[in-house]
Every structure is written in structure tokens, then in C-alpha cells.
Structure 1
């Protein structure tokens, strides 16, 4: 089983051979840090784990970037593992543990006016984030990118509707 970070990095290496610095650039450019906990410092750690599992291998060649040290390519086992893990991630429902649920579970201790203010603050943040995601979504993006944005937009719309009902 691959962690979310491993699947994210492996998927980018399956696209084409990459070095750690380029992986960080792609993660940033695609806004992937919005939905995955993958920092720059963990990219090389994840690449090492994938290499140790035989899912990526270092490829010889020139440095693709001045800061690049090693370039990695997916092995055939890596391609198969990526496809299987991606399919499972899509098909299987896994529990999520958003902090808002912990807050709601403890909301009886919050004075009513402060609870209302907290919900209003969250509603404003959700609307702002929804606007940001809508601006970032591009009609000319590949279908899988449009699917990611579409999923995010629908989740935010659902939370915004729920928050309106709480007011």
C-alpha cells in the first residue's frame, strides 16, 4: 500500500522522469499542496522510499536543473503500483477527520454568540476558497485536472450550503 505522498510523487514520476527539485516545482505549479501534505523536504525522503521499494530507479544523464542531483524514472513495478493505488484511492471510501467535526462535537461549551461568529467566519473562508478554486479551474485543462477542481468545487459548495443552513 502506498501513502498519499508516495502515490503523488510516484504519479508525477510515472508521467516522466523527474528530479526532486522539479517535483517540488510541479507540486507548487499544480496547486497540489492544497490537497496533499507534501513539502519540499519530504520529496527526497519519499523518492528514497519509492526507490527502496523498487518503484523508481535513478537514471543516468545530465542534470536537468542546476539544483538537481538525481533524476528518477518509474520502473514497470512502479507503473503498476501507481495504477493500482490510484484506482483504489478513487474506488475506496476512506474516513476523513476534519477538525471542524471535533469543534462541533465540543460546540456546547462555546457561548452561542461566539459559535455563531465562528460559523460565520468559516462560511466567509469557504466562500473565499470557493472563489479561488473557481478562478484556478481552467476549461482547457486535461480531464483529470478538471475532475480534481470539479470535486473540490462541489465539496466547497456543499459545505457553503450546510453553513447557510446553520445560520
Structure 2
């Protein structure tokens, strides 16, 4: 079970992973995080950055190292990570890597109620999704190949994981489309009959009312 963090926003994890390299002010943190594409790896809002930094300082994970003025810009506070911040970064990373947590992607949510759509409609939508994923995969492979020539693989494993998950999704969709188009998907006739008549077949009514999970 995930621990309750004093600063639970995933942006805090990204900030700690950046400041652990050297002290920097929030603007530098944001620039580096954007350059690394961390907004693709973690769901966070950039407008929350200063709030997150303030909360990390409040809980002793960051501390002000100095104030710096560059040219005519306003004075900026440079932060460094504390021992408590390093410990939090390590513990949080260990939890994320080693402890699986239930995740509910939007696609999974859609699949959970897909019976509301007629089979031909689902086939068209899955083909549409598969085409889009194909374009994304081509772009991701190119980005990864280009980055691999300049960046150590250690800093690209999250991109490799995302690519692998996308490829797995594409393969699963292809298999499902094969069953739907070839007519081998179990219960396909009843599913279509429901949309033709507006009535759920008796053999499916009980399952629909109690949910799809056995138990």
C-alpha cells in the first residue's frame, strides 16, 4: 500500500530528483524538467511548481541556499536538497518501482462499458485508436533512437517502458479486432442482438447486473 507522503504531488518527486544534482532556483527546475520531458512521465501541473517547492521547504526536504539576482530580473531563491529530502526521494522511488498499485487508464474505463456500443462501432473505434497508436509508436521509436545516441540508457528506461506498454496495447487491440471481425469473439451475436432489439439476452442479464468480476 502506498505511503501517505507529506508532499504527495508527483511534481515533488520530480523536483527532488532534479535538485539532488545541484542547488537551483524554481525557474531552473522547471526548465530542466521540461527539457527532460518529465511532464510526459508524471501527471502534474506546472502552475503548482512554486507551491510544491514551498511545501518541500516547509517539511524540511528543501532549504534555501542563497538568493541570486541575474541582470534586471527579480531576486530568486536557490534551493538545495536536505538529508530528509534525499531520504524521501530514495524511499519514494523504491516504493514506485517495487510496489504495484492499481491504475485506471482512460482506455480501461471505456472498455468497462464498451457493451453500450454496437460491435461495428467498436471495430471502427479500435481501428481508429490503432492507427493513432501506430503513429505515436513511430514517433516514440525515432525519439528514443535519436536520444540513445546522446543520452545514457539509464536515463531513458522510462521511455522504453512507455514504448513497450504502447506496443503491448497495440498487439492486444490487433488480437481483439481479429476476433471481432472474424466473428470468433464469444457472445458477439448476443451483443449485436442487444443493439438490434434494445433488449439484453436473458443469459447476459444476470452478468450485467452483478458486474463482470467473478466472486
TM superposition score normalised by structure 1: 0.90
Q: After superposition, what is the alpha-carbon deviation per residue over 1:57-106, rounded to whole angstroms, capped at 9, x for unaligned? A: 11114246846722211011111111111111111111111011111111
Structure 1: 5+ residue stretches without partners? none
Structure having the higher Rg? 2
Q: Which residue of the other structure, out of 129, 139, 164, is the alignment partner of 1:122?
A: 129
Listed one character per residue, the Cα deviations across residues 5-52 of structure 1 (whole Å, up to 9, x for unaligned) are 211111111122122212221122111111212222111111011111
Comparing 146-155 with 59-68, greater Cα deviation is found at: 59-68
Q: Which residue of 2 aligns with 1:135?
A: 142
Aligned to 2:190: none
- Higher mean C-alpha displacement, 51-60 vs 139-148: 139-148
For 1:46 and 1:29, how far apart are their aligned partners in 2? 19
Q: Is the 8 A contact 1:5 1:36 kept in 2?
A: yes
Q: What is the aligned counterpart of 1:154 among 141, 164, 171?
A: 164
Size of the alignment, in residue pairs?
167
Aligned positions of 1:88-127 closer than 5 A: 88-127=95-134
Alpha-carbon contact 1:18-1:72 (below 8 Å) kept:
yes
CA 1:64/1:116 → structure 2, altered by over 3 Å: closer, same or farther? Answer: farther
Q: Distance in 2 between matches of 1:47 and 1:120?
A: 43
Instruction: Please give the root-mean-square deviation of Cα atoms over the aligned residues, in Å.
Output: 1.8
Report matched runs for 1:13-162 at 5 Å: 13-63=19-69, 66=73, 69-137=76-144, 138-139=147-148, 140-162=150-172
Once residues 132 and 72 of structure 1 are traced to their aligned partners in structure 2, the CA distance between those partners, rounded to angstroms, is: 36
Q: Is the 8 A contact 1:19 1:68 kept in 2?
A: no
